Homo-oligomer: A and B are copies of this chain.
Amino acid sequence: MGAHPLRYRPGMPRNRQDVDRDAKIAEIREAAVGLLRAGGYPALSHSAVAKELGLARTAVAWYFASKDDLFAAALADIYAADLGTPPADGDVMVRLRWAVERLTALQPLTHALHERARHSPAAAELEAALQNSLCTRLRALLAPHVAADRLDRVTTTVVVFVEGLLVQPRTTPDRLGLLEFLVTELIGTPGRS
């Protein structure tokens, strides 16, 4: 699409224009977040956002050209809000449980993200960022309890397992029980090669 010049109308100060644009984008993202939280990916559409903001359908498309661009932007906001502030205290299992429960609540949206990532670059980018963030955080969490030469594989294994946990709906005790079983199996033997 090419770069947008920072301003268009001569009389308008540069900063003000920027503020306006960012504020509008924020409005759109907020509306999209609301729709996603209420009805998941199917409930999100240019029309629905436009209706909420009193705009034409295509006005939203000016800022987010495709539905998946809009989806990725809104979902990034949701992840930031829901996963951004982990508990400061607590042991490994407490923190792990917190993350898994948060991710469970977002399961349908994460599901849609994986689905769309195969078609949309924006979705693929967010998918990679999420994966990366989860791995990094989990690695730091496990580092004190796992031998250095096993850390990478254990981390990836747990992340993959957690992703698998979210695929099918399960009861909370079920989920947490399975998680605890795996972690103690992998962590409980720090000496093994």
Contacts and interface: CB of A to CB of B under 8 A. Distances in A.
Interface of A: 108, 111-112, 114-115, 118, 127, 131, 153, 156-157, 159-165, 167-169, 178, 181-182, 185-186, 189
Contacts of A189: 189
Contact of A168 (B114, B153, B161, B185): B114
Q: How many copies does the complex hold?
A: 2
B127 A168 contact: yes
Contact of A160 (B108, B115, B164, B169): B164
Nearest to A128: B168
Contacts of A111: 111, 114-115
A181 B157 contact: yes
